Every structure is written in C-alpha cells, then in structure tokens.
Amino acid sequence: MLSSRRNMLLYIVVFVGFSAIIVRLFDLMVIKHERFARKSATQTTAQLAIEVRRGMILDRQGRRLAINLEDSSVYLDKLNYSADEKKLYQMAQIINVDYDDLQHTLRSDKNFVWIKRKVPLEETTKIEQLKLNGIGFVPEPKRHYTMGSLASHIIGFVDVDNRGLEGIEAKYNKDLSKSGGKYFVERDARGNIFYTSNENERTGNSIVLTIDQGLQYIVETELDTAMEKWKASAATAIMLDPHTGEILALANRPTFDPNAPGKYNPSTRRNRAITDAYEPGSTFKVVTATGVLEEKLTRPDELIDCQGGSIEVGRKRVRDAHPHGILTFMEVVQKSSNVGTIKLAQRLGKQRLYSYIKRFGFGEKTGLDLPGEISGWVRKPEKWSGTSIGAIPIGQEVAVTPLQILTAYSIVANGGYAISPHIVKGVITPEGKTIKYWGEDKKERLISKATVDILTEAFKMVTQTGGTAKEASVEGNTVAGKTGTAQMFDKSIGRYSSVDYISTFVGFVPAEKPAFSLIVVVWKPRGQIYGGLVSAPVFKNITEKSLSYLNVPKDDTIKKDILVVDKRNTNSAPGALTPVN
C-alpha cells in the first residue's frame, strides 16, 4: 500500500515536472518566439546599409578625375563589447580619435555606433591585432580625386557618407549614386562580420565632363603664375568651345584639394567663375557696338569725335584712360574709348540698349550645369538715372559673371548664334550605356553675319599695333578680343576704390575659325591694373600652349597650303593645282 502511494506520488511529480517543461517550452517556442528570435538575431547578425559605389567622374578623353578607394569603417557593437580600458585607449591612439569622445560613445543608448569612418587599411590591421571584443569593420569606398586640386571647383567633393556637397558631385548626386536600402550580415561572438556579398553593393552612373585634363592643367598653371606675379587676391579663367557651348577648362584661384576640403577656408571653394558678380568695364562695350551696327546707326569707317577724351553725361564727367580726338568706329573699339562708346550708346537710347543687353543674356543665368550660378544684375531702363546712359555702355552700374562675358563674346566667335554653356558631356551606366548626352543646341541667330564680321575685325585690331591688348597677340594665329579694366566699389568708403581694380581680357582664337574662346579675370592686381597688361599676357600664354596641345595649325600655314588653278602655266596639265605662297 505504501509502495503504491510512493509510486503515485512519483508519477505525479514526474507529470507535473514534464508539464512545467512543456508549458515553458510552449511559452518560449510559441508565445515568446518572436521576441527571442529578434534577440538572437541582434546577437548574431547586424543590419547595414547596402553599399553604393559612386560612379566615376571622367574628362572628355575618359581620364579618371574621381574614383573610389577601399577603406574600412570601425564600429562598436555594445552587445558584444568587453570592457578593456587599455586596448580601448590604444585603439583611440591608432585612429586618432579623442579618448574622452570614445568613452562618451560607449555611454550612448545605441547598440551599434560608428567609431570612425573611412579608416585606412594599415590602421584597421593594427586594431584587429588588439582583438577587442565588440569592435568590427565594414568595408566602405572612399572618394578619391586623382589629380588633387585640379578642376576642384568643377568636380566638388563629398561628405563622409559619399553624398555630393559641391560641384558635379552635388549637381549630379542622383546620377552618381543610387538608393541603397538595407541588408543583414552574420557576425561572430566578437561582433566581426565574416560574410559579405557583392549582391549587397550597387554602382552609380559615371559622368563624362566636357573639360580636357590637359587644357585644364595649362589654364591652372598659368593662373598660378599670374597670381604670383601680380600678387592678386583672386583669378578666374574659362575656356569654351563657342560652337558647342562645351566648357573645355574652368579654374579659380585660390583653390583647394577636394581630398581634404575641410582643411581649407570656405572662400577658397567658391567658384568665382559663376558666383562672383563684378562690374565688367570695357568688355561690356560689345553690347553697344553690336547694337549700333545691327540698327545701322554707324559704319565701320564713320569718324567719331572723342572730344579729347572727356564727355559730360547727366552732370557727371566721364574720361578716357588716354585722350583721343577723331576716331573711326573701328578705332573706338580698338582703343576702347569711353567717350566714343557713350556717344554711340546715346544714339541707341536706353530702351534699345537694354534690349541688346538682354539679347546677350546679361541679367540671367547661363544655365551652366554647376550649382551656385548667379544671374548678375541689370536694372530696367525705367530705373536708370540720368547718368546711366553714360555708365552702363562702358560696363558700370551692371554686375556680371566671368561666364556671362565669355558667353557674349562666344556668340560673336561662332558667327552670331546663341549657345548654352555646359560642363557635362554624357552620363554612362555601369554597363557602358549612355543614358544622357548633351549635343549641339539648335542654332538661333542673335547677331547678323555682317555685324559679326565687323566686330571680329575690330576685336582683331585690339590685339594689334595701336590696340589696348598687343600683349595678347599670338605668333602665327590672329587673336580677336577685348580688354576691361574696372574699378572695384569700396563699401567701406561708399565710392570706387583708387587702388583695387579688376583686370580682364576676353577673346577667341584663331579669329576666323575659333578653336576656343577664353576669358581671364584678375582681381586686385598689384603693380599694374590694365587688362591689356595684366590679363592679356595670361591669355597669350594659355592660348599658345593650348593651340599647340590641340594641334591647331597656324594661320600662315593654312594660307601656304591653299591650292588654286594656275592658268598661266602652259606646261601644266589642264586643271593642275599649284600652291600659292
């Protein structure tokens, strides 16, 4: 009987025990399954963003300007972290992270935190040797600019997450990168990731620029020389194909290295070619000259009295830099006479003058595909003062960018047609398919061929004997262009400065069949102020080297190669061709 009771009690205990186990298993495997599954997942897996490799940035010849290098980012997994003050301090020393900041990170509520992004391989190797539990690494591409500061204002740069901040990197950020999403990776007890897959990577499109690395180097080298020679505060140069609108080179000084943009003053990253408005001075005279020719208010050989270099407009006296008497229209342009230009502008009147200002696109953005472009500033005629008709024609009371001036002269260079400056030639997928391409614009005539021919001849005279920019002439090729010397307005004294000037030369070459148009602007040169002495020699140096680089033949070589039928040579066969020297 007693034995029977003991057996019953034992059965009951066993039954209750197994029942408790079954209930517990049901609780763990059914009721709390999702909770513990999530907890298990957090210990054995990590959720990471799908890696997006930015597409490359290439010049027009396919040379790489922006690529990706392999680095690793260091992270902390607090769930697997084992405190080790000595090793933690050593790691901080290796990757140059403030130890106090690192301690603050450990006190964060987050289980996954970045310690440092984009760490070089040699540093991550040293950290691995510490064998610090909870410290892991994620491979991440780091943006690298192969030519350093070359074309930095065009290319721009990215932040630590590879998002474009300036330049092409910012403007075409969506093309260069794609939306990544999330993925899970397995990790060991120390938090180290031991499985990755190329399926968790995506590559953006590549951008092909219109610039040529060789031309860009020539332009930047000559700007450096000019900055040193004239002790200038800044300088800009832009080279443009006037037939297509393609930017062949664009540079500013001061400059910066996009590989380490944070080390430079923000002012050095400003793209002055499109963000800095200034009074253009005599380069703006192209508007008046075009207007009076188009409206048939003058002839190239008309004699204009420049009154000894002085004229009064609205109780304000305007003078020439050098006094002149009687000049032809062509000489007014060649010698850059303010008096002659104002007299011509008075014939146009403010309404028609304003219409030609707008025809050239002043007061509006050119539409260049770079961020930060401004429209400049041009007042409507009803807001002009009594002196405006004497100031605006000679490049005062208006504000323009270097690119706007270059675009205006490029219209003359290409025969009188509108152009749209652009700096991207195409967008290419990782598979090599071109998905966007910028071709030539539809030809809209803005200036008649007759006016273009006269202006070209006048601008050629500017670089010849008697002109204001003989220093811009190039041996073997004819240069057409215009100088500009503008006083800078000093806000501190409320009037124009007597020491600070902006010196400009803009032109195109070869004059009859331009390979490119080019503008050089120098801010606050010291020692000289005139565009013909400061900027024209820079134009000359860039042009000579660029024409050689592009294998553009000299004008005299072309003439020597012209073939004609020599009917006087009776010994020649009918229709024989003879070179003319």
Q: Please provide the DSSP assignment of 542-557 as one string.
A: HHHHHHHHTTPPPHHH
Q: Look at 46-55, 184-193, 338-347, 475-484 and tell me which has the smallest mean pLDDT.
A: 184-193
For residues 459 and 444, give the distance between their C-alpha atoms in angstroms, rounded to a whole number: 23
Instruction: Output the pLDDT for position 189.
Output: 54
Helix axes 285-294, 449-462, angle to 10 degrees: 140
Calculated CA dihedral for residues 398, 402, 408, 414, nearest 10 degrees: 180
User: Which residues, 6+ apart, have CB-to-CB distance to 218 below 8 Å?
Assistant: 249, 542, 545, 546, 549
Q: What whole-number distance in Å separates Cα of residue 398 and Cα of residue 277?
A: 9
- Please tell me the distance from the alpha carbon of residue 559 to that of residue 541, in angstroms, as a whole number: 24
Mean pLDDT of 64-68: 95
516-523/495-509 β-pairing: antiparallel
> pLDDT confidence of 490, banded at 50, 70, 90?
confident
Largest CA distance in the chain: 151
Q: Compute the average pLDDT of residues 389-406.
A: 97
If you ran DSSP here, which 8-state letter would residue 178 be given? -
The answer to whether the 46-209 and 213-257+270-559 domains have the same CATH topology is: no
Contacts of 185 (CB under 8 A, 6+ apart): 45, 46, 48, 193, 195, 196, 200
Using one digit for the tens of pLDDT, what is the confidence trace for 147-201? 999 999 999 999 988 899 999 999 999 999 875 555 555 555 555 555 455 455 6
- Report whether pLDDT(564) > 60: no
Name the amino acid, one letter, at 429: T
Beta bridge partner(s), residue 501: 487
Mean pLDDT across the chain, nearest whole number?
86
CA Rg value for the chain = 35
Question: What token pair was written down for 192?
Answer: 């180290």
Where are the domains positioned within the chain?
Answer: 2-31, 46-209, 213-257+270-559
pLDDT in tens, 124-134: 778 777 777 77
Q: What is the mean pLDDT of residues 403-432?
A: 96
Q: Give residues with Cβ within 8 angstroms of 527, minimum separation 6.
A: 230, 231
Strands 182-186 and 45-49: antiparallel
Phi, psi of 239 (to 5 degrees): -115, 135
Structure confidence at residue 494 (pLDDT) = 85
Active site residues: 282
Find the length of the chain. 581
Beta strands in 120-241 (DSSP E): 135-145, 157-158, 164-166, 182-186, 201-203, 206-209, 234-240
So what's the pLDDT on residue 562? 41
- Cα-based angle 248, 254, 256 (whole degrees, multiple of 5): 80
Query: What tokens were used for 320?
Result: 């020439």
The pLDDT of residue 334 is above 60: yes
Q: What are the structure tokens assigned to 389, written together?
A: 């008709």
What does DSSP assign to residue 440? P
Give the pLDDT score at 44: 60
The pLDDT tens digits of the residues spanning 449-477 come to 999 999 999 999 999 999 999 999 999 99
Distances (CA, A) of 176 to 15, 169, 193, 203, 270: 67, 8, 28, 8, 22
Instruction: State the pTM of this model.
Output: 0.80
Q: Give the range among 19-28, 63-72, 122-131, 163-172 with minimum mean pLDDT.
A: 19-28
Domain 46-209, CATH homologous superfamily name and number: Penicillin-binding protein 2a (Domain 2) (3.90.1310.10)
Mean pLDDT of all residues in 337-346 = 97
Q: From 414, 425, 478, select the one nearest 447 (Cα to Cα).
A: 414
Backbone dihedral angles phi then psi of residue 307, each to the nearest 5 degrees: 55, 35
Two structure tokens written together for 384: 């002009």
| Whether residue 228 has pLDDT greater than 80 | yes
Query: Concatenated DSSP letters for 369-399?
Result: SSTT----B---GGG--TTHHHHGGGT-S-B
Residue 561 is predicted with a pLDDT of 43
The fraction of the chain above a pLDDT of 90, given in percent, is 63
For the segment 9-22, the average pLDDT, to the nearest whole number, is 73
Return the SS3 of 308. Answer: coil
Read off the amino acid at residue 170.
Answer: A
- Average of pLDDT values for 427-438? 88
Fold of 213-257+270-559: Beta-lactamase (3.40.710)
pLDDT of residue 574: 30
